[in-house]
Amino acid sequence: MKARVRWVGNLTFIGSADSGHYIIIDHAENKEEQMGSSPTELLLQAMLSCTASDIVNILRKMREPMEGLEVRAEGFRSKDYPQLFKEINIEYIVKGKVNPDSLAKAISLSQEKYCHISIALKRSGTDVRVTSRIEDA
């Protein structure tokens, strides 16, 4: 896998990877001037999309009637540099008549076996906490 970023001014970069898609990355101090997600925001979003795709795939294989999924997170970083994540709270919100035990198993498999981003963050010392709920569609 290859990736690159190109500086386009201030603290703004255009990133791309093997897929050929582009993304704006911006680490501006002033949020009103920020043109894209910061690198740290992207890390959190990458973790969520990684685990969310696991959940979709696993619940599909279990033939669970999932009709929607939203995964939210709140991360807390240390004040001292390199300002690593100390804690990340993840909430899975599933819509449909999904069996709670199936959802719990899917989350466990994602967090412990498949989502390499969550696992890497945990190995770096981040406390990842998980909650979930099922809503009727």
* Cβ proximity of 91 and 73 under 8 Å: yes
pLDDT tens-place string over residues 73-118: 999 999 999 999 999 999 999 999 999 999 999 999 999 999 999 9
Domain 39-135 sits in CATH at: 3.30.300.20
Cα-flanking dihedrals φ and ψ of residue 52, to 5°?
Answer: -65, -40
Q: In sequence order, what are the beta bridge partners of 77?
A: 85
Task: List the chain domain ranges.
Answer: 3-33, 39-135
Q: Which tens digit of pLDDT belongs to each residue from 39-85?
A: 999 999 999 999 999 999 999 999 999 999 999 999 999 999 999 99
pTM: 0.91
Q: Which residue has the tokens 């967090």?
A: 111
Q: Omega of the bond prior to 39 within 30 degrees of 0, cis?
A: no
Residue 32 has a pLDDT of 83
Q: From 51, 117, 125, 49, select the one nearest 82 (Cα to Cα).
A: 125
